[in-house]
Structure 1
Amino acid sequence: MNETRRRVLDALADGPVTGPELAERLDVSRAAVWKHVEALRDAGFDVESESGGYALGGVPDYGGPAVEYGLDAPFDVEYHDAVPSTNDRARELATEGASDVVVLADRQTGGRGRRGREWSSPAGGVWMSLVLRPDLPPARAPTLTLAAAVAVIDAAREAGVPAEIKWPNDCLVPGDGERGGAKLAGVLTEMEGEASRVSWVVLGVGVNVDVDPGDLDGDATSVRAEGGTVDRRAFVQRVLERFHELRERPDAALDAWRERAATLGQRVRVETGSGAVVGDAVSVTEYGALVVDTADGEQIVHAGDCEHLRLAE
Structure 2
Amino acid sequence: MNETRRAILEALADGPVSGPALADALDVSRAAVWKHIEELRDADFEIESGSTGYELAAVDAYNGPAVEFGLEAPFSVEYHDSIGSTNDRARELAAAGATDVAVLADEQTGGRGRLEREWSAPSGGVWVSVVARPDLTPPEAPLYTLAAAVATARAAREAGVDARIKWPNDVVVPEGDDGSYRKLAGILTEMEGEVDRVQWLVVGIGVNANVDVDDLPPEANATSVREEAGDVDRRVFVQRLLEEFDRYRTDLESVLPAWRDLALTIGQRVRVERQSGTVVGEAVDVTDAGALVIETTDEEGADGRVAVSAGDCEHLRPV
Work out whether residues 161 and 228 of structure 1, in 8 Å CA contact, stay in contact via their aligned partners in 2.
no
| Identity of matched residues, % | 65
CA distance in 1 between partners of 2:56 and 2:252 (Å):
39
Work out whether residues 133 and 201 of structure 2, in 8 Å CA contact, stay in contact via their aligned partners in 1.
yes
**Residue matched to 1:207:** 207
CA distance in 1 between partners of 2:311 and 2:240 (Å):
29
Work out whether residues 179 and 268 of structure 2, in 8 Å CA contact, stay in contact via their aligned partners in 1.
no
**1:254 corresponds to 2:256:** yes
Work out whether residues 160 and 229 of structure 2, in 8 Å CA contact, stay in contact via their aligned partners in 1.
yes
CA distance in 2 between partners of 1:195 and 1:19 (Å):
56
CA distance in 1 between partners of 2:66 and 2:250 (Å):
26
CA distance in 1 between partners of 2:178 and 2:201 (Å):
32
Q: Deviations over 1:28-76 (max 9, x none)?
A: 2222211110111011111111112111111123111111111111111
Q: One-letter code of the match for 1:299? A: V
CA distance in 1 between partners of 2:244 and 2:50 (Å):
37
Q: Map of 1:102-113 to 2, 5 A cutoff?
A: 102-113=102-113
CA distance in 1 between partners of 2:50 and 2:72 (Å):
29
Work out whether residues 180 and 307 of structure 1, in 8 Å CA contact, stay in contact via their aligned partners in 2.
no
Q: One-letter code of the match for 1:301? A: V
CA distance in 2 between partners of 1:124 and 1:179 (Å):
28
CA distance in 2 between partners of 1:280 and 1:304 (Å):
15
Q: Map of 1:4-19 to 2, 5 A cutoff?
A: 4-19=4-19
**Residue matched to 2:224:** 222
**Residue matched to 1:70:** 70
Structure 1 unaligned spans of 5+: none
CA distance in 2 between partners of 1:170 and 1:18 (Å):
49
**Residue matched to 1:302:** 309
Work out whether residues 17 and 52 of structure 1, in 8 Å CA contact, stay in contact via their aligned partners in 2.
yes
CA distance in 1 between partners of 2:27 and 2:193 (Å):
43
Q: Deviations over 1:85-132 (max 9, x none)?
A: 000000111111111110000000000000000000001100000011
Q: Map of 1:150-229 to 2, 5 A cutoff?
A: 150-175=150-175, 180-218=180-218, 219-229=221-231
SS at match of 1:44: coil
1:213 Cα deviation from its structure 2 partner:
2.0
**Residue matched to 1:82:** 82
Seen in structure 2, the aligned counterparts of structure 1 residues 61 and 96 have a Cα distance that, compared at 3 Å, is: same
Q: One-letter code of the match for 2:215? A: D
**1:30 corresponds to 2:30:** yes
CA distance in 1 between partners of 2:32 and 2:187 (Å):
41
TM-score by length of structure 1 reads 0.96
CA distance in 2 between partners of 1:173 and 1:87 (Å):
25
**1:56 corresponds to 2:53:** no
SS at match of 2:196: coil
SS at match of 2:224: coil
CA distance in 1 between partners of 2:167 and 2:296 (Å):
17
**Residue matched to 1:290:** 292
1:179 Cα deviation from its structure 2 partner:
8.5
Q: One-letter code of the match for 1:222? A: S
CA distance in 1 between partners of 2:180 and 2:158 (Å):
22
1:222 Cα deviation from its structure 2 partner:
0.1
Q: Count the aligned residue pairs.
A: 312
**Residue matched to 2:47:** 47
Seen in structure 2, the aligned counterparts of structure 1 residues 179 and 276 have a Cα distance that, compared at 3 Å, is: farther
Work out whether residues 87 and 204 of structure 2, in 8 Å CA contact, stay in contact via their aligned partners in 1.
yes
**Residue matched to 1:239:** 241
1:214 Cα deviation from its structure 2 partner:
1.5
CA distance in 2 between partners of 1:275 and 1:4 (Å):
58
CA distance in 2 between partners of 1:66 and 1:176 (Å):
38
SS at match of 2:195: coil
Work out whether residues 251 and 286 of structure 1, in 8 Å CA contact, stay in contact via their aligned partners in 2.
no
**Residue matched to 1:275:** 277
Q: One-letter code of the match for 2:25? A: R
CA distance in 1 between partners of 2:79 and 2:28 (Å):
27
Q: Deviations over 1:130-164 (max 9, x none)?
A: 01111223222211110110011111111111011
Seen in structure 2, the aligned counterparts of structure 1 residues 92 and 177 have a Cα distance that, compared at 3 Å, is: farther
TM-score by length of structure 2 reads 0.94
CA distance in 1 between partners of 2:12 and 2:99 (Å):
29
CA distance in 1 between partners of 2:269 and 2:210 (Å):
33
CA distance in 2 between partners of 1:256 and 1:109 (Å):
33
**Which of the residues 226, 245, 268 maps onto 1:266?**
268
Structure 2 unaligned spans of 5+: 299-303
Work out whether residues 86 and 105 of structure 1, in 8 Å CA contact, stay in contact via their aligned partners in 2.
yes
User: Mean alpha-carbon deviation: is it higher for 118-127 or for 137-146?
Assistant: 137-146
